[in-house]
């Protein structure tokens, strides 16, 4: 498996890992980004491109650019680094 990169503000950067995902039910998946990051890479178990809701560690909803890779893979690019939870459905 190669290194995952994302285009952030016109520059290709390596996407760090640092989160853990768990199936939350047959049609949902919860991902916790424990360490602050501006790019979240999520490997999920859903067999479709899900809706994504992100809540930061201050319990506020946050928007980012969702990039769908192959089925089972999403990257979310934010303007700054933070930790939180992504809910996929």
Task: Report yes or no on 69 lying in a domain.
Answer: yes
pLDDT score of 27: 84
Task: Report yes or no on 53 lying in a domain.
Answer: yes
Distance (Å) of CA 82 to CA 2, 6, 29, 71: 25, 17, 20, 25
pLDDT score of 63: 96
pLDDT score of 2: 46
CA–CA gap between residue 1 and residue 23 (Å, rounded): 23
In tens digits, the chain (89 residues) has pLDDT values of 444 455 555 555 555 555 555 555 568 889 999 999 999 999 988 999 999 999 999 999 999 999 999 999 999 999 999 999 999 99
* Cβ contact 36:84 at 8 Å: no
Task: Report yes or no on 43 lying in a domain.
Answer: yes
Query: What's the total number of domains in the chain?
Result: 1
Task: Report yes or no on 58 lying in a domain.
Answer: yes
Distance (Å) of CA 81 to CA 11, 37, 84: 16, 4, 10
Domain of residue 32 covers 15-88
pLDDT score of 48: 93
Cβ neighbour number for residue 82 with a 10 Å cutoff: 18
Task: Report yes or no on 4 lying in a domain.
Answer: no
pLDDT score of 18: 53
Task: Report yes or no on 2 lying in a domain.
Answer: no
pLDDT score of 45: 87
Task: Report yes or no on 26 lying in a domain.
Answer: yes
Task: Report yes or no on 1 lying in a domain.
Answer: no
Beta strand pairing status for 5-8 and 11-14? antiparallel
């Amino acid at each position: 498996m190669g290194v995952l990169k994302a285009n952030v503000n016109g520059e290709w950067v390596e996407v760090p890992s640092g989160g853990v995902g768990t199936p939350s039910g047959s049609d949902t998946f919860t991902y916790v980004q424990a360490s602050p990051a501006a790019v979240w890479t999520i490997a999920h178990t859903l067999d479709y491109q899900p809706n994504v809701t992100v809540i930061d560690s201050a319990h506020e909803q946050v928007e980012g650019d969702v990039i769908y890779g192959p089925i089972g893979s999403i990257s979310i690019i934010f303007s700054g680094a933070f930790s939180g939870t992504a809910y996929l459905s």
